[in-house]
A and B are shown apart, each in its own frame.
Chain A
């Protein structure tokens, strides 16, 4: 626990910080890249963080598999045979209850119910329903907790994504990973606390936005670091061609000598901090390629995640990378997989999307489990809202689509203090409204923070006169799903 307490993040201006810690701190790392042992005196900020974690955390790290575009709950985890029975019949007004519609379907004169074209079976001891699109996920149902009663306030992608990640639909607030970097810092001084990995399926895409991993009003050290599939996994990481590590070292040594001279002339501790940042950059240049190198992974692992994991930039490759980053102490790994927006062509597109993510998502759970890491790693799978139970456009023999539906949708969580083999919450037989145990986005966020040992009402940051928090002004921990 002592380690946990020391590994907190920082969020203040470096100058001030150094000033407060008095002079002569020779080496300091930064926030998400913090070397913990160097603090020899407590500042007011540190005292704040001494309270963190607020209680013993269940999870130390999070891997969030964001299914960007909103996968349909009705073709994944929320089995509604009634929709197949009433195929083509009108959605009763008693069920719709004035739910607002997006401009996509508000012009429709009819709202014909449409059931899943894919079959469902029950799996595991939990007897959880999973559609045939997710054969690998069906094998891990006893390791996960499926929440069928998620709901949100937003009805369009951008605000809904922003709401999930930052707790507000608009504005530039810090995202969940930034909050955790701020609150808990990194476990690895050579890697960022918050890493972001992007991939895209063939389905209708909605784009991702860098503000989803923004630090908002927190210091930029808490910003998600986007990893890339190109030659530089982290921007600007690679030295110029022909420059060896020794050549770089030589330059940095000379650089440090000159910076040190400048320090002697000016006495500004910021200069010494700069020297340290260059040292950390140098270490990152070794640490990042090591962690992103999958060539040493055994065949069994490659097989587990599927052949796509050898193709950089795919969801499968990102899942494997997420495991490696997390294993190396990265606090929050955020994946986004685009292409889940099936207004049309749902049967074909969703099949492709599910194929992209099913095996690797399940593999990640199994892999963490076999390494004994699942207990301390929280994995989350889900999109920004659900999809309507009625068809957008006309139902055809081989085609239909679904519009956005914020009132009820499914996500799953695993590991890190969440009950396994559980199905939580229930929707009505139309799959339209929640009838039992609703989970609001803020509840979901409060629960994640809770699992990380943080009281969501206390992890606050005062900005322009107001204390902000991830859960804004609401959020109840979903206690039933906790171990």
Chain B
């Protein structure tokens, strides 16, 4: 259906795009002061999404004075205008939660909202077409504190504009719609755009149409240096090697860029890059957490994840194996290893715990990780009561819980004195496995490995709804099933984790593919098309480009859930290839770059900050997988927080190659996670996380200035290039290219040369300072290798590592 909608509106501050801020509401600052504004014509391919466009219009303008009124012809949409208001302000008491429902009034469904009021059968919550007869409207506008809704003690209130929108919706017939994310995605025809020459692939039509509607124009394409750095960081998490930069520069063929992409997809570092993302989702760690926090061996699972991404295991299989590899009809040890996904959560070894309390806790974690990480619905609320915002009942929560409740797992297997590297059920991996089927496991010796995995009990453990989510308060029994409002659990599916996996990757499932393509989009562009990556429910953010999201999801499913293909599409788009120059006008119009009229400049994730420093200095050890490593860490952190028990009470720093592995492999002790990643917004792995913050703090500056890892890298690179080049300018140039993936500009070179000269003078008159500076790390260079040139060069390199551009994807 093609519709043309006319709006003469520009609304103020559209706060839904701000990170979940408390007072953010849809119409927070809209004022209806009737000032005419530019008439904007919006073309939409589909009526369903037209209201999105309408909504987005207000986001582009922040100035309160330029607000305008909803034209009487504008169609108010339940999905995009009304539900966000009702969900945020009314559903807590008049929504899906049956136990907290006040006065029997339920406003999230048409039938119940239109029905006669229980306490006043002559009246109705909503009377379509008649706001003045609708109790909802009457109460919203009442000034009597006893009548007024929401009640003053709720600390919630609606703005006049929100009330006005509701009035209008009722007067237009108060039509309800199903929640957008619970409707199966459909591929819509490409939208029409004016600038026909810009799009490279289909993605660009969706993005450009939105930009054009906003009066924005795309940035020009980034230069080749920038592109090679960008794709290299996105696909491998490493800066491009200088030879690659040169080769790409010199390759004038038409498909040079695509060839470069293919080369990067073929790197094993690709699996490491995406693997890091999956480690946050699967809350991977190397210790059990809780008080004694002893060591465990889940790293073979990490090796599998890297391997799966590198071999481009289709996403549907990737998920199926992790959820139910042990239940596949012809399963092997690889399938079973993948199920470690559900065993990565914390395990208590505290003496004296009540076993069932923790067994239940583990099943809750599995349930919550599945719902947040894979289907993008935050279900935790329904653990204690019917969900207040999403149509998910407590019964449905425990029906989902039931899938994960049928394992021989124990809540407690003894205290730290009896600790083992894995807990029941365990997969044993021996030499034979690692030399054949599980070759991807980086096991250097012949010892057997044990990994905590999933297994199904022969008989069904009964699952009960747990009152308030408490292990010792079971009520009625439930059986495995999935939330009805998302997608009915097909009768053809077995009622176990395998059935759950089949339901999850069914093409009828409206969430799985959308959630994953959104996650990938977030990896590349810094924020998802749906910004609330882990919440596609009613309280979540609306998609900025809904048709694009659907297009990507449908295309992804239709092409074998091919992850590399998905990434290649995104990375070869014109949208992606734009320069990241920040145009002042565009910044004012679209400060958060929602419309993508530029490539966003994004600080690298914590792991990749480390990777870049090590790789550019030549220190990086590119070994894939294996046990986690303990690189330099400030003294005393583990010792200060430990209970004094277990293998991890003191931090025993590694030596040799293990000091120079990628950030992905840094040992994660849950109660005292490595400080550098935490300072750079990494997850503490306490639970499933789907997006990281991106802050800019003085503590980060201190890491880059003083972390021995950075200093050793600088020292190493200074020695290498000083030996290689007689001309210090040439050495500087090489360091610059290695670190920033581009040649320095003349004025930059001047600053560097000047600094080099100054520092050389300092060290010449004070060699002791040169020695103490350069001799850093476990393997400091010998004194005879150190001279004022090297020390000065090291200072310059340290400074280069501290440039904002260095750890930014530009």
Given the interface contacts A22-B588, A219-B695, does A13 sit within 8 Å of B635 by beta carbon?
no
Within 8 A of B (CB), among A456-475: 457-458, 460-467
Q: B695 touching A158 by the CB < 8 A rule?
A: no
- Whether A235 and B702, one on each chain, are in contact in the complex, defined by CB atoms closer than 8 angstroms, is yes
Contact A172 B686 (CB under 8 A): yes
Chain A 188-236 interface residues, beta-carbon cutoff 8 Å to B: 198, 200, 205-211, 214, 217, 219-221, 223, 225-226, 228-230, 232, 234-236
Question: Quick check: is A19 within 8 A (CB to CB) of the other chain?
Answer: yes
Whether, in the assembled complex, B367 has its beta carbon less than 8 Å from a beta carbon of chain A, the answer is no
Inter-subunit contact B472/A13 (CB<8 Å): no
Q: Are A462 and B291 in contact (CB under 8 A)?
A: no
Contact A464 B18 (CB under 8 A): no
B292 on the interface (CB 8 Å rule)?
yes
**Chain B interface SS verdict (over half):** loop
List the 9 shortest-distance A-B pairs measured between CB atoms, nearest first.
A19-B591, A465-B539, A104-B352, A207-B643, A242-B769, A281-B701, A102-B352, A462-B20, A267-B582
List of B residues within 8 angstroms of A258 by Cβ = 748, 751, 799, 803
**Chain A's nearest CB lies how many Å from the CB of B529?**
17
Query: Is A33 in contact with B581, judged by CB distance below 8 angstroms?
Result: no
Task: Decide: A266 and B810 in contact? CB cutoff 8 A.
Answer: yes
Q: A214-B684, A266-B582 are in contact. Are A157 and B698 (CB under 8 A)?
A: no
Are A220 and B23 CB-contacts (below 8 A) given A198-B641, A207-B291, A239-B705? no
Bound together, the chains give a CA A225 to CA B681 distance in angstroms of: 14
B780 interface contact, C-beta 8 A: no
Chain B residues near A20 (CB-CB < 8 A): 62, 591
Q: Which residue from A221, A228, A255, A285 sits with its C-beta under 8 Å from B799?
A: A255
Closest to B592 in A: A16
Cβ-based interface call for B540 (8 A): yes
Distance (whole angstroms) from the CB of B318 to the closest CB of chain A: 24
B535 contacts A251, CB within 8 Å?
A: no
Q: A157, B350: Cβ atoms under 8 Å? A: yes
The answer, among A22, A45, A343, A403, for a CB contact under 8 Å with B18, is A45
Interface string of B4-34 (1 = CB under 8 A from A): 0000000001010011111110001100000
On whether the beta carbons of B671 and A205 are closer than 8 Å, the reply is no
The SS class assigned to the A binding surface is mixed
When distances are taken between beta carbons in the complex, the residues of chain A under 8 Å from B751 are: 254, 257-258, 261
Q: How far is the CB of B390 from chain A (nearest CB, A)?
A: 8
Given contact pairs A241-B772, A258-B751, A277 touches B540 in the complex (Cβ within 8 A): no
CA distance A232 to B707 in the complex (A): 12
Q: Bound state CA distance, A247 and B581, in angstroms?
A: 33
Interface contact B644-A259, CB-CB below 8 Å: no
Tier of interface size on chain B? 35 or more
What are 22 A-B pairs at a CB distance below 8 A?
A30-B695, A30-B697, A103-B351, A158-B348, A171-B380, A209-B670, A210-B641, A220-B693, A228-B635, A240-B773, A242-B766, A242-B769, A243-B773, A254-B799, A257-B751, A259-B804, A261-B747, A261-B751, A281-B699, A284-B698, A464-B539, A465-B378
Q: Does A144 contact B (CB under 8 A)?
A: no
B258 within 8 A of A: no
Cβ of B684 and Cβ of A240 under 8 Å apart? no
If A240-B773, A277-B697 touch, whether A228 touches B352 (CB-CB below 8 Å) is no
Q: Does A25 contact B (CB under 8 A)?
A: no
Are the CB atoms of A242 and B352 closer together than 8 Å?
no
List B contacts of A404 (CB < 8 A): 352
Q: Which A residues lie within 8 Å of B641 (CB)?
A: 198, 207-210
A100 contacts the other chain (CB 8 A): yes
**Cα A45 to Cα B582 with chains together (Å):** 24
B271 within 8 A of A: no
* Cβ contact within 8 Å between B13 and A156: no
A19 to B527, CA, bound (A): 15
CB distance from A19 to the nearest CB of B (A): 2
Partner of B23, one of A47, A207, A274: A47
Rounded to whole angstroms, the CA-CA distance of A223 and B680 in the bound complex is 12
Q: Which residues of A contact B636 (CB under 8 A)?
A: 228-230
**Interface pair B19/A156, CB less than 8 Å apart:** no
Give the interface centre of B23, B291, B352, B378 by most chain A CB atoms within 10 Å: B352
Known: A228-B634, A255-B802. 4 other contacts (CB 8 A): A103-B352, A229-B640, A277-B700, A465-B538
Question: B352–A220 contact, CB under 8 A?
Answer: no
Task: State whether A172 and B687 are in contact (beta carbons under 8 Å apart), knowing that A23-B584, A104-B352, A466-B378 are contacts in the complex.
Answer: yes
Chain B nearest CB: distance from A477 CB in Å? 15
| Residue numbers in B under 8 Å from A238 (CB-CB) | 706
CA distance A397 to B609 in the complex (A): 60
Q: State which of B182-190, B353-361, B502-510 sits at the interface with chain A.
A: B353-361
A261 touches B696 (CB 8 A): no
Q: Specify which chain B residues have a CB less than 8 angstroms from the CB of A338 in the assembled complex.
A: 643
Residues in B whose Cβ lies below 8 Å from that of A403: 352
B389 proximal to A (CB < 8 A): yes
Which residues of B (630-649) have their CB < 8 Å from a CB of A? 634-637, 640-644
How near does chain B come to A17, taking the closest CB pair, in angstroms?
9
Q: Are B804 and A270 within 8 A (Cβ)?
A: yes
* B535 contacts across to A, CB distance below 8 A: 464-465
* Residues on B with beta carbons closer than 8 Å to the beta carbon of A457: 155
In the complex, B532 has a CB within 8 A of chain A: yes
Asked if A237 is at the interface (CB within 8 A of a chain B CB), the reply is yes
Pairwise interchain contact A237-B19, C-beta atoms closer than 8 A = no
A273 at the interface (CB under 8 A from B): yes
Whether B580 pairs with A268 at a CB distance below 8 angstroms is yes
Q: Within 8 Å of chain B (Cβ to Cβ): is A278?
A: yes
Provide the B744-769 mask, 1 if CB < 8 A to any CB of A, else 0. Answer: 01011001101100100010001011
